[in-house]
Amino acid sequence: MSSPRTRLIAAAALTAALTVTVPALATPALAAPSANSAQHSAHAIPFTAATAVQQADGSFALSWTAPGARHVTVYAGTDPEHVAHRRAVASGAGSATVTVSGLGAADRWYFELVPDRGAPLVVADRSLHLASAPNFRDLGGYRTADGRWVKLGQVYRSDDLSKLTDEDLAKLRRLGVRTVFDLRTPAERQAAPDRLPAGAKAITANVLGAADTGQFNVTSPQAAVDMMVLGERTMVSADSARAAYAQLLGAADDRGAVLFHCTAGKDRTGWGAAALLTALGVPQETVRADYLASNTYRAQANAAALAQLPPAYQAVYQPLLDVRPEYLAAGFDEVKTRYGSFDAYLKKGLGVNAEQLRRNLLVG
């Protein structure tokens, strides 16, 4: 009988074989404070929710809620640390939804929300809209339980990078991507070698710790779900996984943007993102939402992948392409079973200093 890790490796290979590239989907972004607001306490930032979503026509839908503020002015810029206040692009009440259009092309547009009371906040669309990597998105911009915010533009998560265009690579270089962690197996890397931005350092962090993919067979949707749940536990317990995530979390600081990825950017990458956000103090419901967002970002790719299969097999393989709450819950349950608490997992399992991570990646 094959081991859980072998079955997960085989599933990863199948996912890679089925994966096809489709245009990225526009999905909601969360907020990150502007650089000049770091001097304020978290309580001085009145926004409890804020999103920026790029629409199909290139406009942006902005929404915010800022209890205690009566008026919010919006400015736009291409540098999150220096959004000029020469001309407002929108304004609204303390809670509002507005549309901003006519901004033109840019690597990313950032919107500084300036309230009449309290500190400003910068928001941006989470997606980089890379057609060749639909699950490429910013992991920053989440609010922690104690009112701080994960820095925007410091940590990115993605799916396969082998099809990035020269234009994509130039964009990533301009956005400051300096380190790329590849969480895939050697077979996956050989089948689809990464394309990296100029000057970026490549780090191999093989979560599954195997040179080949073995054989994979499931006969029912439930068997596929069971395998994925078991695989999520393996990403907590396996020595290779602990070594990989220790490397990743240890490098996630403020010395240049970090990007990490696997094949679909949902399982190995999903646990890495969940572990980092949890270490930073992001609430579990937010962590879960970020994890499940892969279903939205990869909806078209997954549909295209299933269309390659005979109808009788589609229901069986659907769980391999999904992310589901029970998958992530299995990872956290494994943490509790083996270590007793998430803090103990960070310290004993990964050797990660959570306080150092928070100093590096949180503002407010």
- Residue 11's pLDDT is 56
Top pLDDT among 26 and 291 is at 291
Taking the CA atoms of residue 100, residue 105, residue 111 and residue 112 in that order, the dihedral angle to the nearest 10 degrees is -120
Q: Per residue in 120-142, pLDDT tens?
A: 888 899 999 999 999 999 998 88
Tokens of 36: 């000049």
Hey, is 357 helix, strand or coil?
Answer: helix
Please state, in angstroms and rounded to a whole number, the distance separating the CA atoms of residues 227 and 238: 15
Please state, in angstroms and rounded to a whole number, the distance separating the CA atoms of residues 109 and 138: 13
**pTM tops 0.85:** yes
Query: Among 78-92, 202-216, 341-355, which is the least confidently predicted range?
Result: 202-216
Cβ(136)–Cβ(108) below 8 Å = no
Residue 3 has pLDDT above 90, yes or no: no
- Residue 16's pLDDT is 55
Q: Per residue in 14-59, pLDDT tens?
A: 555 555 333 333 333 444 444 444 444 445 778 888 889 999 999 9
Sort strands 121-124 and 201-204 into parallel, antiparallel or unpaired: unpaired
Element (H, E) at 97: strand 95-100
Burial environment of residue 279 by CB neighbours within 10 A (0 to 12, 13 to 18, 19 or more): buried
Average pLDDT score over residue span 93-111: 95
Please state, in angstroms and rounded to a whole number, the distance separating the CA atoms of residues 322 and 325: 10
Distances (CA, A) of 340 to 188, 260, 349, 352: 34, 27, 11, 16
Please state, in angstroms and rounded to a whole number, the distance separating the CA atoms of residues 44 and 19: 45
Residue 111 has pLDDT above 60, yes or no: yes
Please give the positions annotated as active site: 262
The domains of the chain, with CATH numbers, are: 4-25+132-140+153-363 (3.90.190.10), 28-125 (2.60.40)
- Residue 156's pLDDT is 97
- Residue 216's pLDDT is 61
Read off the pLDDT band of 2 (50, 70, 90): low
Residue among 2, 108, 114 nearest 52 (CA): 108
Read off the pLDDT band of 363 (50, 70, 90): confident
Cβ(244)–Cβ(336) below 8 Å = no
Please state, in angstroms and rounded to a whole number, the distance separating the CA atoms of residues 287 and 273: 8
Read off the pLDDT band of 303 (50, 70, 90): very high
Average pLDDT score over residue span 232-245: 96
Sign of CA dihedral 196, 199, 205, 207: negative
Sign of CA dihedral 315, 310, 261, 82: negative
Q: What is the mean pLDDT of the chain?
A: 88
- Residue 246's pLDDT is 97
Which amino acid is located at 354 in the chain?
A: A
- Residue 29's pLDDT is 44
Which amino acid is located at 47 in the chain?
A: F
